[in-house]
Structure 1
Amino acid sequence: MKLTEPAPGGPCWVELGTPDVDVAKTFYAALFGWRPTTDPRPEAGGYTVARVGEDPVAAFSPLYRADQPPAWTVSFATEDVDGAVGAVRSAGGSLLTGPTDVFDQGRFAVVADPSGAVFSLWQARAFAGAGRFNDPGTLGWAELRTDSPAGALAFYPTVFGWTVDSTDRYTHWCVDGAEFGGLKEIQDDETSEEPRTPPGWLPYFSVTDVETAAATALGAGGDQLVPPTAVPGGPWVAVLRDPYGAPFGIHTP
């Protein structure tokens, strides 16, 4: 069973920090068919929500600091942001931003686990999070890439109450019996022309055909870190970058 709606402890939203929201609108609309709408209020700072049909599925936001890299951030639902921040700190993580109220929508904080992997906490009020999961163009998986798997396996179940389903091939994260993501160890012997990937959360968006979607991304100005690949006993996957270098995954559910 997979997670199908926002639930305490599970991923509820994904947000792209980018130096050019208009470029992001064009790229992801071409790739996923998203319909972006920018909040016109000056105090919203250009925040843009992308929809599939009428359902909100993701957001774009301008970068807030000169040293902030373009990146996707995964948000996890909580019924008490302030309490969750305390749990993060007690388990060895750190607070980066907040907690802060967002109009009448909810309350959020940006935190990092002990390895430095950044994620957000979201306490819903008027806005619960994504209106769809697992459908084409929506969040289908969230993968933690870390150089400290033992630390992650101690940290996240302590903070969120997750359970773990591990095989010799892969570790799955579950909340209330529903799978929503996994853990991939960053290997020290990985070789690439690119710098070694730092710890972080990588969102995977569902598509009907990974090879076609990867070709669309390349044609729209993106590139690929991992070409379309068949996972033994699992889906097709690829890891891509948008025109400003923000990495994300695509997969067939």
Structure 2
Amino acid sequence: MPTPDITPGAPCWIDLMTSNTDTAKQFYGELFGWDFQSGDQEKYGGYITALKKGKMVAGIMQKDADQAGLPDMWSTYLRTDDAAATADAVAANGGQVFVAPMDVPEQGHMAIFGDVSGASIGAWQPREMRGYELVAEDGTAAWHELHAKDYDAAVQFYQQVFGWNTDVMSDTPEFRYTTLGAGAEAKAGILDASGYLPAEMPSSWQVYFAVSDTDASLAKAVEMGGKVVEGPDDTPFGRIATLTDPTGAMFKIVADTGQGAQG
């Protein structure tokens, strides 16, 4: 498969912040067929890169003492050509700068923001590390989706801050959904989640991983200590399920994905 076409504003990387990197490596290695490389401790803090077929597909990092109270979670990073300018745009459009743009030696610049709906979103300004090298194949990221409590404000935020050219996929009272790009070329989505997210649950980005068999992958995940949160359900976009890994990080799996696949 060719290298993913990562345009400015589009998802370009995912990583997992976890309380136990050994558990994460064992779980995702078995579930998705990943191999792993650990970065230099002094330069990169022991950041772990997950590989599929020898290509970079995700990162894993150990939570530090300051993050002990935060849940284990997957994060999506959007491509930016100027992380500092993006940080300024985030602040100017009602968002928050959680982690100011910082240099990752030789690789690029990263930042973590809070969008106007309260969801955390990463940004990556590449140098040597351009982003993930394989998507929409078994065991790799297939789709990225914001579940937003303030849908209209969220759509406007990503248009203004990340330059999204959006398309309204659905605008019924039951299902409001906007995508970055249109149809088969879409690269991410925003879902109006105000009708079902409980008060204590914030807006959040969700990562979907492609699998060949949703039910078999669910069974394997549960056998290794994962838990089923929702599904599996048949949808126009594939058979989807939501689950957590052994330490509680939530993610989704989808089989036979069509619309929304990158590459």
Moved more, 58-67 or 121-130: 58-67
Query: Aligned residue for 1:25?
Result: 25
Matched position secondary structure for 1:5: coil
Query: Aligned residue for 1:39?
Result: 39
Matched position secondary structure for 1:155: helix
Query: Aligned residue for 2:213?
Result: 209
CA distance in structure 2 between the partners assigned to 1:184 and 1:100 by the alignment: 30
CA distance in structure 2 between the partners assigned to 1:196 and 1:143 by the alignment: 20
Matched position secondary structure for 2:168: strand
CA distance in structure 2 between the partners assigned to 1:175 and 1:11 by the alignment: 12
Aligned CA distance change for structure 1 residues 130 and 190 (closer, same or farther; 3 Å):
closer
CA distance in structure 1 between the partners assigned to 2:205 and 2:44 by the alignment: 25
Q: Which runs of at least 4 in structure 1 moved beyond 6 Å after TM superposition?
A: none
Q: What RMSD in Å do the two structures reach over aligned CA positions?
A: 1.9
The answer on whether the counterparts of 2:4 and 2:132 sit within 8 Å (CA) in structure 1 is: no
TM-score with structure 2 setting the length: 0.88
- CA-to-aligned-CA distance 1:139-174 (integer Å, 9 cap, x gap): 110010111111112111111222123223451422
CA distance in structure 1 between the partners assigned to 2:73 and 2:156 by the alignment: 25
Query: Aligned residue for 1:50?
Result: 50
Aligned CA distance change for structure 1 residues 38 and 241 (closer, same or farther; 3 Å):
same
CA distance in structure 2 between the partners assigned to 1:159 and 1:54 by the alignment: 33
Matched position secondary structure for 1:46: coil
CA distance in structure 2 between the partners assigned to 1:136 and 1:189 by the alignment: 30
Query: Aligned residue for 1:138?
Result: 140
CA distance in structure 2 between the partners assigned to 1:164 and 1:176 by the alignment: 6
The answer as to 2:180 corresponding to 1:174 is yes
The answer on whether the counterparts of 1:172 and 1:179 sit within 8 Å (CA) in structure 2 is: no
The answer on whether the counterparts of 1:6 and 1:130 sit within 8 Å (CA) in structure 2 is: no
Matched position secondary structure for 2:138: coil
Aligned CA distance change for structure 1 residues 213 and 234 (closer, same or farther; 3 Å):
same
Q: How does 1:24-103 map to 2 (within 5 A)?
A: 24-64=24-64, 65-103=67-105
User: Aligned-pair distance for 1:33?
Assistant: 0.4
CA distance in structure 1 between the partners assigned to 2:46 and 2:4 by the alignment: 29
TM-score with structure 1 setting the length: 0.92
The answer on whether the counterparts of 1:161 and 1:175 sit within 8 Å (CA) in structure 2 is: no
**Percent identity (aligned):** 32
CA distance in structure 2 between the partners assigned to 1:82 and 1:225 by the alignment: 37
Gaps of 5+ in 2: 258-263
CA distance in structure 2 between the partners assigned to 1:150 and 1:214 by the alignment: 34
